[in-house]
Chain A
């Protein structure tokens, strides 16, 4: 069965500190992983996807198939990074059927 696990409900750091939001997945097919972000009172927005191998707002994430992980990292957290972060796995049905993790709330304090 497909599953995405985000072990931390809350991650609290100080501004300027490194951040790592953990995501592990379970899927027998070829995984496609995403990170979505939801800022306060706003919609879910795509932050990045592993196939793009890009850095958005200083965040990066590398797919590690051996460890079945897709951790989200940023070297220096900013206050405006405070939000809810969801890791998601696209199930290979050809459509955007996403399996989400439970989310991690990142709180960056000044």
Chain B
């Protein structure tokens, strides 16, 4: 079953708190991604991971960090969340290079108050 699972789906945090968003996939895909989606802005790439412990910054990495210790699991961490990080976060995975099909999770809606 080809699936990308994100947890939690909804989260409310106070400004300055730490946030952990988790993502798992069951397809043994090497490449995984974290995007954020805001109205009118489409999808913005935060980080891309090419395999375990092989992570690269995307277009908007500031304020975020990631961890990938197992191929099937990719975490997004916000240290000291800010109100402008309120967004919907999507995890995705692909087989090999980014030129292949991306499989997305259902998203994690984060509200920072």
- Tell whether A and B belong to one assembly: no
List the interface of chain B (C-beta within 8 A of A): none
List the interface of chain A (C-beta within 8 A of B): none
